């Protein structure tokens, strides 16, 4: 067994803070695992890009732990919850650099964040992790859509710890530049189908003040209206105040957010949106973030209308990026059909895993008193 230690990382307030090199090393671990699993560098983030999310923990508390060998970071674990003391969920991940696996480091990291979850009375543990393609037997998601290779180390690791595969997410990639004529045609067809009740509005960075409440509702519905299979993830409530807090925390980030939203003219409310997270460097890939059409406005091709509009907006605002990447549940045919029509092709798959830790007498007592 190698001599390793685990400690909690102090999230650096800025790149000048003493723990910045460790934070960078932990981001490096994340990037290596994404590249290994998806076979592309498109999903790489810099430490500066990820820092705002780690510093803003008011609405989604998070903590990071690192595993070290002779001082060097060789693995990391992340822990995230919702702030409400009655919420029962924790999102966890343990990642170890390939050269340091099979030495008990992953187990120690996972033990650390699972212990934290137990201490905070979080009994529903959720892990999203990439599973690289491999030959051999497969484990199929209970949704019936998608599977992961049973022999992969992360699959064996999670099964041995009592997690159940609940859902498979497809990672897809669209090569840029997208065909302009095709985009224009998709957008025109979708607009004709949607009719005159809906208009498209695009903006960069902060949401215009008059639409903050609407966007907050759309974000909240992201947590309840997207298919989450047996994960049963909780409602994550957004308010205009939280939206402003989040957008303010991103000021100074090297990335910028491009949004396309559909305004329902009769009600004067935004009823659908889609967002792209754009890195400053034009030779890097763009990340597709949330897309949602409120249930009561589905069936009007607003998904295609907004996605094609935002890709046109991207080409105008920040041309030259090599690709856009996106993640969707494998059973979510509606959004996959839109993405496939636009030219997205699969680049890899992620398993979404859940473990429900039985309540002990002790945890029932402490949850009664909270």
Nearest to 357 by CA among 160, 142, 154, 122: 122
Neighbours of 269 (CB within 10 A): 16
Q: What are phi and psi of 240, to 5 degrees?
A: -60, -35
Smallest separation (angstroms) from ligand COA to the CB of 98: 8
Q: Percent helix, strand and coil across the chain, each rounded to 5?
A: 35, 30, 35
CA–CA–CA angle 195, 199, 205 (5° rounding): 150
Looking at the Cβ atoms of 73 and 278, the one nearer to ligand COA is 73
Looking at the Cβ atoms of 8 and 205, the one nearer to ligand COA is 8
Looking at the Cβ atoms of 269 and 355, the one nearer to ligand COA is 355
CA–CA–CA angle 102, 103, 109 (5° rounding): 100
Smallest separation (angstroms) from ligand COA to the CB of 344: 24
In the bound state, the residue with its beta carbon closest to ligand COA is 106
**What is the enclosing helix (H) or strand (E) of 95?**
strand 89-96
Smallest separation (angstroms) from ligand COA to the CB of 341: 31
Looking at the Cβ atoms of 93 and 306, the one nearer to ligand COA is 93
Task: State how far the Cα of 356 lies from the Cα of 199, in Å rounded to an integer.
Answer: 44
Looking at the Cβ atoms of 86 and 102, the one nearer to ligand COA is 102
Looking at the Cβ atoms of 36 and 281, the one nearer to ligand COA is 36
Beta strands 147-149 and 323-329 are: unpaired
Cβ proximity of 31 and 49 under 8 Å = no
Smallest separation (angstroms) from ligand COA to the CB of 209: 40
Smallest separation (angstroms) from ligand COA to the CB of 63: 15
Looking at the Cβ atoms of 72 and 182, the one nearer to ligand COA is 72
Interface residues with ligand COA (CB under 6 A)?
A: 1, 33, 93-96, 101-107, 110, 127, 129, 153-154, 156-158, 160
Smallest separation (angstroms) from ligand COA to the CB of 208: 40
Smallest separation (angstroms) from ligand COA to the CB of 366: 26
Nearest to 124 by CA among 238, 236, 234: 234
| CA-to-CA dists, residue 178 to 181, 259, 302, 322, 341, angstroms | 9, 18, 19, 10, 12
């Amino acid at each position: 067994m190698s001599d390793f230690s685990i400690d909690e990382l102090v999230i650096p307030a800025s790149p000048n803070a003493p723990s910045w090199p460790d934070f960078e090393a932990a981001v490096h671990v994340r990037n290596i695992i994404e590249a290994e699993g998806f076979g592309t560098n498109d999903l790489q983030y810099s430490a500066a890009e990820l820092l705002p999310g780690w510093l803003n923990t008011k609405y989604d508390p998070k903590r990071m732990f690192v595993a070290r060998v002779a001082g060097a970071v060789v693995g990391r674990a992340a822990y995230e919850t919702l702030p409400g003391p009655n919420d029962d969920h924790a999102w966890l991940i343990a990642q170890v650099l390939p050269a340091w696996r099979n030495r008990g480091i992953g187990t120690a990291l996972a033990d650390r964040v699972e212990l934290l979850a137990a201490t905070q009375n979080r009994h529903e543990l959720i892990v999203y992790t990439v599973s690289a393609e491999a030959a051999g037997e497969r484990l199929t998601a209970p949704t019936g859509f998608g599977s992961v290779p049973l022999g992969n180390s992360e699959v064996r690791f999670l099964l041995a710890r009592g997690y159940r595969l609940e859902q498979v997410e497809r990672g897809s990639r669209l090569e840029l530049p997208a065909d302009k004529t095709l985009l224009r045609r998709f957008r025109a067809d979708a607009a004709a189908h949607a009719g005159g009740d809906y208009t498209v509005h695009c903006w960069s960075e902060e949401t215009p003040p008059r639409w903050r409440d609407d966007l907050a509702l759309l974000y909240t519905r992201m947590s309840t209206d997207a298919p989450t299979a047996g994960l049963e993830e909780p409602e994550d409530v957004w308010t205009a105040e939280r939206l402003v807090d989040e957008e303010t925390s991103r000021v100074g980030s090297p990335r910028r957010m491009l949004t396309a939203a559909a305004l329902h003219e009769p009600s004067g409310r935004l009823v659908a949106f889609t967002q792209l997270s754009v890195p400053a460097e034009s030779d890097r890939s763009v990340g597709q973030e949330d897309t949602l059409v409120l249930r009561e406005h589905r069936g009007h091709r607003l998904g295609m209308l907004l996605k094609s509009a935002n890709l046109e907006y991207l080409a105008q605002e920040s041309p030259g990026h090599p690709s856009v990447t996106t993640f969707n549940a494998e059973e979510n045919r509606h959004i996959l059909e839109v993405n496939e029509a636009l030219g997205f092709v699969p680049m890899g798959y992620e398993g979404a895993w859940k473990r429900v830790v039985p309540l002990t007498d002790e945890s029932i007592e402490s949850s009664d008193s909270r």
